[in-house]
Every structure is written in structure tokens, then in C-alpha cells.
Amino acid sequence: MREAFHDELEAITGNLVDMAQLVKTATKDATTALLTADLTLAEKVIAQDDVIDQMQHELDDRTMRLLATQQPVASDLRTLVTSLRMSADLERMGDMAHHIAKLARMRYPATAVPPESSLTIEEMGRVAGLIIDKVSQIIKSRNLDDAKQLPVDDDEMDKLHRKLIQSLISKDWPHGAESAIDLTLLGRYYERSADHAVSISRRVHFLVTGKYLEDKA
């Protein structure tokens, strides 16, 4: 029975990794749809969000059942508790990709990103993809050194976010309020996705050590 229980724990970890991979693909595709005004790709990302949501519901149901029936302790208990939190973070990261794709769809056939901002948004999408890929690896490996690196990676996203906002508040911004609002929202979506990734890294640290990773200075 205990062997079957630990098989279930491994399956939960595998499900979290699968969710992370779906979120990575959704974020990449949403960014591409945004920058190229690809309506078909945007619609794909929007539809895929339901799949990510369903994965979270099924994963949480499995986790709650194990909590109720197995009465786990120590690291097993931490595995189940943190899986609930990590699945919620991953679902919210999927929501961020969903929001990006919806904005791409809203502005179609135009693009929501003016030419002078496209490189910054493209870089935010690239950094988000790298961060989510690391999240997937950390969930699987439980490597604490990699977990501690995520807040550093998040600093790069924060710098890009500040760069984007600074361009919008410049007196030379030529694209009007609607475009500025679009880009403000987009910057927030990428920044929040990275924040959820950092949250996952802290949960992995707690899972392994039983202690929470201190906030970065």
C-alpha cells in the first residue's frame, strides 16, 4: 500500500511537470500570436487554457484524496501540500498566457504592440519561456541551487518591465492611451507569470528542507 502511495506522489509530480510544459507552450504561442497578429494561434492558446484548468482540478482532487486517505507526514505531507499551491501558481501562469492571447485576438488584424516596443515584448516572452522551463526542471529535480536562481531570473523580467513602463510614460510616446494601456497590461502579465514561477521555487525549497526560502533583498 505504501508503494502504491509513493507511486501516486510521483504521478502528482509528473502532472505538475506536464502542466508547466503546457504553460511554457502557451506563453510562447501567445507571444508569437501577439507579435505577428496570428489569430489562429491566439485562439489555440485561449482554448488550451481550459486544458490547463482541467489538469489543475484533477490534480487537486487527487491530492485531496491522498491527504484524506493516507494521512501523510513529514516530506510526504509537504509534497501534497506544496502540490496544491504549485498547481494554483501554474494555473495562474496559464491565465497570463490566456490574457496575452485574448489581447492579440482583440486587436486583430492589427497588432497590439507598436514596432518600437516589439523587441521588449519579444524579450519578455523569451525570458518567461526560460523561467517556466526552469520551473519544470525544478519541480522534477528538486534542485535547491536551481530554485535559488529563479529570483535572480525574475530580476531580468523586472528590468524589462520597468523599461517598458518607462517608454510608455515618456512625453514622446506617439501611440495614444489605448496602446499604452495594452502594453501596460501586457507587461503586467509577463511580470506576474515570472512572480508565480518564483513562488513555485520557494515552495520547492520548503518541500525539500521544511523551511521557506527567504525573500530576496
pLDDT tens-digit readout, 21-72: 999 999 999 999 999 999 999 999 999 999 999 999 999 999 999 999 888 8
Give strand ranges (E) for 54-105: none
Residue 134 lies in a domain: yes
Contact yes or no for 8/127 (Cβ under 8 A): no
User: What residue has cell string 521555487?
Assistant: 201
Residue 75 three-state SS: helix
52 in any annotated domain: yes
Nearest-angstrom CA–CA distance, 178 and 121: 17
Report the alpha-carbon distance of residue 31 to residue 42 in Å, rounded: 9
Residue 216 lies in a domain: no
175 is a domain residue: yes
What is the C-alpha separation between 204 and 134, in angstroms, rounded? 12
Average pLDDT, the chain: 93
Count of structural domains within the chain: 1
pLDDT tens for the chain, 217 residues long, are 667 888 999 999 999 999 999 999 999 999 999 999 999 999 999 999 999 999 999 999 999 999 998 888 888 999 999 999 999 999 999 999 999 999 999 999 999 899 999 999 999 999 999 999 999 999 999 999 999 899 999 999 999 999 999 999 888 888 889 999 999 999 999 999 999 999 999 999 999 998 876 654 3
Does residue 154 form part of some domain?
yes
106: helix, strand or coil: helix
Q: Which CATH number fits the domain that encloses residue 19?
A: 1.20.58.220
Range of the domain at 51: 2-209
Please state, in angstroms and as integers, the Cα–Cα distance from residue 157 to each residue in 51, 78, 170, 213, following that order. Answer: 27, 29, 20, 20
